[in-house]
Amino acid sequence: MRIYTSEVKPEMDGEVVELAGWVHSIRALGKLIFVILRDREGTIQIVAPKQKVGEELFKKIKSLGQEDVIKVKGKVIANEKAPGGVEILPLEVEILNRAVRPLPLDPAEKVPSELDTRLDNRYLDLRKPKIQAIFKIRHEMLKSVRNTFYNEGFIEVNTPKLVVSCTEVGTELFPISYFDKEAFLGQSPQLYKQMLMATGLDRVFEIGPIFRAEEHNTRRHLNEAISIDIEMAFSDDKDAMDILEKVIINACKDVYENREKELNLLGVKIEVPEKIERITYDEALELIKNKVSIEWGEDLSREAEKALGEVMGGYYFITEWPTEIRPFYTMPKEDEPEKCKAFDLMYKDLELSSGAQRIHQYDLLVENIKKKGLSPEGFKYYLEAFKYGMPPHAGWGLGADRFTMVLTGMQNIRECVLFPRDRQRLTP
C-alpha cells in the first residue's frame, strides 16, 4: 500500500514501503544516484548505488528528470546523515509519466519566478511545499469555521449565484445573458440568506463565491472571492458579533494547533486572540484624528484604515456606523437613527467582514430602498418574504481569501486563491 514520505520513520529500518510522487531533484555521482522524491506531505531521499540496485534499475533511475512522476518500492534505511534521518534503497521503480523539460517554472525553487509567471503556471507553482502550505492552512480554517457553525446550530445552505438584482451598493455587478433576460452574477447571498429567515431555518451559513466587477487592482480585491456568510433569526448585531468572534478565535486556535509545520514553512507566527475588542465608529475617528481627518458620516478612507490599524493592531470590531453609508437592509439604532447596528471586523488595516442587524419590518425596508435611490419593484420577491412573519435577524459575511491572507501572512490576496480572478486575469 502506498504511504506518504512523512510516514517513513527511522524506526522502520529494513521495512519495504511503496511511495509515489514527483522527482524533486536528481543528482548522479558516477555509480551513485540521489533522487529526492516529493509528495503532498514532504520529500525523501532515494539512494541508488549501481552495485546494489543492479545495472537495469540503475539505468532506469539515471534516465529520470525533474518532475517525472514515479512510483517506488524500496527498503527503508535509517541513516543519521540523510534528511529526516532516513532514506530509501529502491527495489522497483515505475515511471508513471515523464515531464517535458525545460519546465516553465521550477517547483524546487532554485530559480525564483514572478507572481504572474507563477499564476500562469499555477499547477506547477502549487507543487511547491510553501505554496501548498497556504492551501493547507486555508483548508484548516474552513474546516474549523464549519465546525464552529455545526457546534452553534447552523445549517449549511446553498443559494443561487445567477440573480436579477443588486444587494451591495457601491460594488458593480457582472451582467450575463440569461436566455432572453438580463441577469447578473451574485455579489452576495444577502437577499437569499435574509429570505431564509422567514422560513424558520433559524440559523444558516453558506460558503460560496461572490462576484464583484471591481475595476481597481489592489492586493486585497478579487473579482471572484469566497464569502463565508451567516444569518441568524431572533438575534441582533451583538449576537452576530459574538458568533464571528468565536469563528475567528477557533480558526486561529485550530490553525495554530494543527498546522505548525505549514506555519513554520511560511515563517509565520499566528496570533490567537482571547477576545476581540469592539470600538464604535466615533471612537475610531477619535483615535486617528491627529493623523487623518474624517468628516462624521464619511466612510473610512484607505489612509484612515491604515492609521487605525497602527493604533489598534490585531483583530477589532468597528460598530455603530453612520446609517447613511451602510446598505439599505441595515437596522438603524432606535435612539439615534443616524447611526446603525452595523459592524466591520478588521485585522489591522484590512477589512475582513461586514455585518449588521437587519431591518425586518416591511414598511421600513421599502422606505429605505427608496431612500437609497433603488426601486422596490426590483426587490419584489425579497420584499414579499417580509410580509408574512419575518423575525428580527442579523448576520455577516467574512472574506475567506482575506482571512487566509491574515492566517498565512501573505501580502497579496492572489497568493491565497488557487486560480485567482482579477482585472487582468481570467485564465488559467
Any contact of residue 144 with ligand AMO (CB under 6 A)? no
The verdict on whether 139 is a catalytic residue reads: no
Q: Give the DSSP H/E element, type plus range, for residue 31.
A: none
Q: Which is nearer to ligand AMO, 97 or 424 (CB)?
A: 424
Among 227, 235, 319, 357, binds ligand AMO (CB under 6 A): 227
- Binding mask 194-223 toward ligand AMO (x if CB under 6 A, else -) reads ------------------x-x------xx-
CA distance 127 to 38: 9
Pairing of strands 16-29, 32-39: antiparallel
Q: Which three cell numbers stand for residue 299?
A: 466612510
In this chain, which of 24, 339, 360, 402 binds ligand AMO, going by CB under 6 A? 402
Residue 138 designated active-site: no
d(CA 318, CA 150) in angstroms, rounded, equals 27
What minimum distance in Å lies between the beta carbon of 205 and ligand AMO?
11
Q: Give whole-number Cα distances, 195 to 28, 161, 180, in Å.
A: 66, 15, 26
Coil, helix or strand at residue 115: helix
User: Amino acid identity, residue 395?
Assistant: G
Alpha carbon separation from 366 to 128, 173, 203, 363, 374 (Å, rounded): 52, 22, 24, 5, 10
| Residue 66 touching ligand AMO (CB under 6 A) | no
Q: Look up residue 11 and give its amino acid.
A: E
Q: If binding is defined by CB under 6 A, does position 186 make contact with ligand AMO?
A: no
Amino acid making up residue 218? T
What string marks each residue from 155 to 184 as x (binds ligand AMO by CB under 6 A) or -? -------------x----------------
Residue (71 or 146) nearer to ligand AMO, CB:
146
Which residue is listed with cell 531533484? 25
Q: Which residues pair with 399 in a beta bridge?
A: 227
Given 220, 278, 423, 425, which residue is catalytic?
220
Interaction between residue 129 and ligand AMO (CB under 6 A): no
Q: Which entry of 7, 41, 152, 214 is annotated as an active-site residue?
A: 214
Question: Minimum CB separation from ligand AMO for residue 329, in Å?
Answer: 8
Is 98 a catalytic site residue? Answer: no
Q: Which is nearer to ligand AMO, 12 or 383 (CB)?
A: 383
**Active-site residue 56, yes or no?**
no
- Please name which of 10, 61, 17, 11 lies closest in space to residue 36, comparing C-alpha atoms: 61
CA distance 340 to 253: 32
Residue 264: what residue type? N
Cβ closer to ligand AMO: 46 or 222?
Answer: 222
Measured distance CA(349)–CA(305) in Å, rounded = 5
Residue 319 near ligand AMO by CB under 6 A:
no
Whole-angstrom Cα distance, residue 34 to residue 38?
A: 13
Q: Rounded to a whole number, what is the largest CA-CA distance in the chain?
A: 87
Tell me, by CB under 6 A, how many residues bind ligand AMO: 22
CB of 198 to ligand AMO, least distance (A): 16
Q: Cβ(205)–Cβ(229) under 8 Å?
A: yes
Of the residues 305, 354, 358, 414, only one is catalytic, namely 354
Tell me how far the alpha carbon of residue 46 is from its chain's centroid.
35
Least CB distance from residue 421 to ligand AMO, whole Å?
10
Which range, of 153-161, 195-203, 310-318, 394-402, touches ligand AMO by CB under 6 A?
394-402
| Selected binder of ligand AMO within 125, 206, 401, 422 (CB under 6 A) | 401
Give the integer Cα–Cα distance in Å for 102 and 118: 15
Length of the chain: 428
Q: Judge whether 245 counts as a catalytic residue.
A: no
Which of 43, 353, 368, 408 is in the footprint of ligand AMO by CB under 6 A? Answer: 353
Minimum distance from residue 201 beta carbon to ligand AMO (Å): 16
Residue 89 to residue 264: CA distance in whole angstroms? 29
Q: Give the interface with ligand AMO as residue ranges (CB under 6 A).
A: 168, 188, 190, 212, 214, 221-222, 225, 227, 229, 351-356, 395-397, 399, 401-402
Catalytic residues: 212, 214, 220-221, 351, 354, 402
